[in-house]
Amino acid sequence: MSLQNLSDERLIADTKMWNEKEEYCTRQFLRHINEVNRRRLFCDSQTGSLFKYIRKNFNKSDSEISRRVLAAKTLRHIPSADKALANKQVTLTNLAEVSNLVGNIKSNKKKNEILNSIKGKTQIQTRDLVDELTGKKRVTRSKTRAHSDGSIRIHLTLVGQTAKDYQFIKEQLSNSRVYRPEDIIGHAINTTAESMRKKILSIGSRKSKAITNSRTISAAIKKAVITRSGNKCENCASKYNLHFDHIVPYSMGGESAIGNVRQLCSNCNSRAAIVALSQHKMDIFINQS
Ligand SMILES: [Zn+2]
């Protein structure tokens, strides 16, 4: 039936109905991706993270995915947030904004207080609340675009203490030579990257005995594994949160030798443990909220 033939009342009522269906579907989607996450099922398709799994399989923009993944995380930590979402007391955006905050809080009472404090709040108000509670120096990234020549265009808004720190650096440097904003930010990125690289390299260079009949993996074996893996997860190629994993678990007689040790990201490591030892046994270690 063409919408053009609907009465005004019916058109308004139907628009409301479809909006409610959409909101219901979104909540169901969040519940389902949380269960996919609990099982670390995205590791089976080498996607490395829930975010990349959704990007690969579903037609959503990065910002839509990010909002859903973060909101789903908040729902894992505060189950009653689902009801608040259904009752339109909070939005997906509100829930996404507090996801990291509630992820670091143990007390359920405190988590519920945070949920209550974001009810009816806008995104900016929620963000301000999170900054207040964490004392965070926020750097707001409004837009990032990668270009084919390898350069990345970033629109940055520096606020609060970060803006003051930027002014301080600029004033200090202006005495010696004229610095442009990109020089200051470029210097900060280079310095941070250098210290991260040193930290990664130090993993492979710590001295210890090259023994294989111990749960401890020697520095020499770690170094050899890193050379083989290129310092990436050997399942999904992620470069983040890497761990050394016994392919045959040490408790089942697996040695700490090069052939039995691999580098996995924390998600693929968890998925391997779920497959080897059962979801039930691993839930207490990896899915506590
Ligand atoms: Zn991985």
Domains of the chain: 8-121 (no CATH), 142-202 (no CATH), 206-286 (1.10.30)
How confident is the model over 34-52, as pLDDT tens digits?
999 999 999 999 888 999 9
Closest by Cα among 239, 197, 225 to 49: 239
pLDDT top residue among 19 and 134 = 19
Q: Across residues 81-110, what is the average pLDDT?
A: 94
Q: 201 CA to middle of ligand 1, Å?
A: 20
Q: Which residues have a Cβ under 8 Å from the Cβ of 70 and sit 6 or more positions away?
A: 95, 96, 97, 99, 100
Q: 98 CA to middle of ligand 1, Å?
A: 26
Q: 4 CA to middle of ligand 1, Å?
A: 51
The answer to whether the beta carbons of residues 60 and 54 sit under 8 Å apart is: yes
Question: For position 194, what pLDDT does the model report?
Answer: 83
Q: 42 CA to middle of ligand 1, Å?
A: 9
Q: 269 CA to middle of ligand 1, Å?
A: 7
- Rounded CA separation 281/274 (Å): 8
How confident is the model over 74-88, as pLDDT tens digits?
999 999 999 999 999
**Average pLDDT value over all residues in the chain:** 87
Q: Across residues 218-230, what is the average pLDDT?
A: 93
Q: 125 CA to middle of ligand 1, Å?
A: 36
- Rounded CA separation 27/81 (Å): 11
Report whether pLDDT(132) > 70.
yes
Question: 144 by DSSP, 3-state: which?
Answer: strand
The CA angle 248-206-257, to the nearest 5 degrees, is 20
DSSP calls for 148-170: TTS-EEEEEEE-HHHHHHHHHHH
Report whether pLDDT(25) > 90.
yes
Q: 263 CA to middle of ligand 1, Å?
A: 9
Q: 272 CA to middle of ligand 1, Å?
A: 10
Question: For position 220, what pLDDT does the model report?
Answer: 92
Q: 11 CA to middle of ligand 1, Å?
A: 48
Q: Where are the beta strands (DSSP E) in the chain?
A: 139-146, 152-158, 242-246, 261-265
Report whether pLDDT(139) > 70.
no
Protein residues placing their CB within 5 Å of the ion ligand 1: 48, 233, 235-236, 238, 265, 268
pLDDT top residue among 215 and 270 = 270
Phi, psi values for residue 158, rounded to 5°: -95, 130
Q: 153 CA to middle of ligand 1, Å?
A: 28
Sign of the C-alpha dihedral, residues 226, 227, 232, 236? Answer: negative
Report whether pLDDT(209) > 60.
no
Q: 231 CA to middle of ligand 1, Å?
A: 11
Q: Across residues 264-272, what is the average pLDDT?
A: 93
Torsion of CA 173, 177, 179, 184, to 10 degrees: -40
Q: Which residues have a Cβ under 8 Å from the Cβ of 93 and sit 6 or more positions away?
A: 67, 71, 123, 126
Q: 260 CA to middle of ligand 1, Å?
A: 17
